[in-house]
Amino acid sequence: MGLKMVKNVVILGAQWGDEGKGKIVDVLSAKVAGVVRFQGGHNAGHTLVIDGVKTILHLIPSGILHPGVECFIGNGVVLSPRALVEELTMLEQQGFDIAARLKVSLGCSLLLPLHEELDKAREKMLGKAAIGTTGRGIGPAYEDKVARRGLRAADLLDMQQLEIKLEVLAEYHNFVLEKYYGVKPVAVQQMLDELTVAAEKIKPLLADITGLLAIYQASGKSLLFEGAQGALLDIDHGTYPFVTSSNTTAGAAATGSGLGPLFFDYVLGIAKAYTTRVGAGPFPTELDGAVGKHLAERGQEVGATTGRARRCGWFDAVAMRRAVQINSISGLCLTKLDVLDGLEFVRICVDYDEAGKPVYEELAGWQESTFAIKKYASL
Ligand code: IMO
Ligand code: MG
Summarize pLDDT for 327-376 with one digit per residue, the tens.
999 999 999 999 999 999 999 999 999 999 999 999 999 999 999 899 99
Mean model confidence pLDDT for the chain: 96
Is the pLDDT assigned to residue 47 strictly greater than 80? yes
The secondary element (H helix, E strand) that includes residue 13 is: strand 8-13
Q: Is the C-beta atom of 244 inside 6 A of ligand 1?
A: yes
- pLDDT value for 96: 87
Closest by Cα among 144, 139, 122 to 40: 139
Helix intervals (H) in the chain: 21-29, 81-93, 113-126, 138-146, 159-175, 188-202, 209-218, 251-255, 290-298, 317-327
Q: Is the C-beta atom of 248 inside 6 A of ligand 1?
A: no
Residue 119 Cα: closest atom of ligand 1: 14
d(CA 249, CA 38): 10
- pLDDT value for 99: 85
Please give the average per-residue pLDDT across 54-78, as a whole number. 95
Q: Exactly one of 46, 58, 173, 237 is catalytic; name it.
A: 46
Is the pLDDT assigned to residue 255 strictly greater than 80? yes
Does residue 18 have an active-site annotation? yes
- pLDDT value for 106: 98
Q: Is the C-beta atom of 279 inside 6 A of ligand 1?
A: yes
Summarize pLDDT for 93-143 with one digit per residue, the tens.
998 888 899 999 999 999 999 999 999 999 999 999 999 999 999 999 999
d(CA 256, CA 38): 4
Q: Exactly one of 18, 119, 144, 155 is catalytic; name it.
A: 18
Give Cα 236 distance to the centre of its chain: 16
Tell me if 313 sits within 8 A of 294, measured CB to CB. Answer: no
- pLDDT value for 51: 84
Closest C-alpha residue for ligand 1 atom 27? 279
- pLDDT value for 50: 82
Closest by Cα among 318, 276, 280, 282 to 295: 276
- Confidence category of residue 4, pLDDT binned at 50, 70, 90: low
- pLDDT value for 355: 94
Q: Is the C-beta atom of 233 inside 6 A of ligand 1?
A: yes
- pLDDT value for 239: 98
Verify cis geometry, omega within 30 degrees of 0, for the bond prior to 241: yes
138 by Cβ neighbours in 10 Å (0-12 / 13-18 / 19+) ranks as buried
Please give the average per-residue pLDDT across 289-307, as a whole number. 94
For a ligand 1 pocket test, name from 39, 60, 278, 302 the mutation site with the most ligand atoms within 8 angstroms of its C-beta: 278
pTM of the model: 0.96
